[in-house]
Structure 1
Amino acid sequence: MDKPIFLVGFMGSGKTTWGKKLAAKLDIPFVDLDHEIVASMGMSIPEYFEKFGEEKFRLLEREFLQKQEQREAIISTGGGTPCYYDNMEWITQHGLALYLYHTPKSLWARLSKSDVNKRPLLKGFSEDELLTFIENKLEERAPFYEQAQLKFEQIHTPLEEIIALIQQYQSTTR
């Protein structure tokens, strides 16, 4: 494998957790796009959103995404990364995209347990509002996520099965 594997999916879908597991198992680097941005900017993503707005963040995110082109790595993208500009098209042209699929209720259960204030798009939602937001946003983003070459249900798919899917896909595209 000489191209990156991009993990795409909604916030809270496990891209960072699965990315680390896959990278360790495949013995390649792991890159968390959000962490790269935070390290470079010297501020958190919520701080960046507040200071510069979402549009500037999405441009910055795109710039960091495209720096990954020649990297053999597992790259965890932000939940919105594939949904802006031509990012998803770029991802599928320059690497392998894996969509970590969850139902809205599964995402709600995961996100309602986390600190939603660390996620700029979720700030201030009640539990009911959070589920409605997830349902609506997932419906809006699904057409982008669905462009991934591979999709798996994160809750029910063992790591070994995911690796086998990756290897099978790579062997048919060489």
Structure 2
Amino acid sequence: MIRIFLIGYMGAGKTTLGKAFAKKYNLSFVDLDWYIEERFHKTVQELFAERGEDGFRELERNMLHEVADFENVIISTGGGAPCFFDNMDFMNKSGITVFLNVKAEILFQRLRVAKQQRPILKGKSDDELSSFIVSALQNRASFYNQAQYIFNADELEDYHQIENSVIHLSKLIGLE
């Protein structure tokens, strides 16, 4: 039975690497944010607006516990999920945790392109975006670094890099 939790900041490549890894090892893939949206028929942003951050984080924790019962799965968490309640400890006890560590400059490049699709980033200047990323990484580091494995996910820009990352990750966690 395999259960892997991918954690890291938005834009770290949790979904990209998670899907590729799941495909190679014939695992199910669950993106926790997508799972929540499917269950509640609302976007994460809508749920956040309706329930506030505390309400959303409680919901997120409950859904994390639900998907943690799945077997032969790789789960991509939301960037903030590890930072609330006992979520990090729970994930460490429930499966393998991998922090996708990406340099702030690379996150900036990835998120700069996608900021219109991410309401929390929309309207930020380049300087504001860069500062926002650096600050968030500093605030979340103590949670992210509790992962059992830390994986450098700087190189996920094309098919070849993704395939290489899948191989490296599988070796890191002992699947190969």
TM-score, length-normalised on structure 1? 0.90
Kindly indicate whether residue 109 of structure 2 is the aligned counterpart of residue 109 of structure 1: yes
Q: Does the aligned pair in 2 maintain the 1:45–1:120 contact within 8 Å?
A: no
Kindly indicate whether residue 169 of structure 2 is the aligned counterpart of residue 162 of structure 1: yes
1:13-162 equivalent positions in 2, closer than 5 A: 13-72=12-71, 73-114=73-114, 116-156=115-155, 158-162=165-169
3-state secondary structure, aligned to 1:99: strand
In 2: Cα distance, 1:61 partner to 1:77 partner: 9
Displacement of 1:106: 0.9
Displacement of 1:16: 0.5
**Uncovered stretches (5+) of structure 1, i.e. residues with no partner:** none
- How many residue pairs end up in the alignment? 167
In 2: Cα distance, 1:91 partner to 1:117 partner: 31
TM-score, length-normalised on structure 2? 0.89
Query: Partner of 1:4 in structure 2?
Result: 3
**Uncovered stretches (5+) of structure 2, i.e. residues with no partner:** 156-163
In 1: Cα distance, 2:117 partner to 2:95 partner: 29
Displacement of 1:70: 2.7
Which amino acid in structure 1 is aligned with residue 16 of structure 2?
A: T
Which amino acid in structure 2 is aligned with residue 65 of structure 1?
A: L
Which amino acid in structure 2 is aligned with residue 4 of structure 1?
A: R
Displacement of 1:123: 3.5
Q: Does the aligned pair in 2 maintain the 1:6–1:76 contact within 8 Å?
A: yes
Query: Partner of 2:159 in structure 1?
Result: none
Displacement of 1:167: 1.7
Q: Percent of pairs identical after alignment?
A: 42
Regions of 4+ moved over 4 Å: none
Displacement of 1:3: 4.1
Displacement of 1:63: 0.4
| 1:75-133 CA-partner distances (Å, limit 9, x unpaired) | 0000000000110011101110011001111111100000x243343233211111101
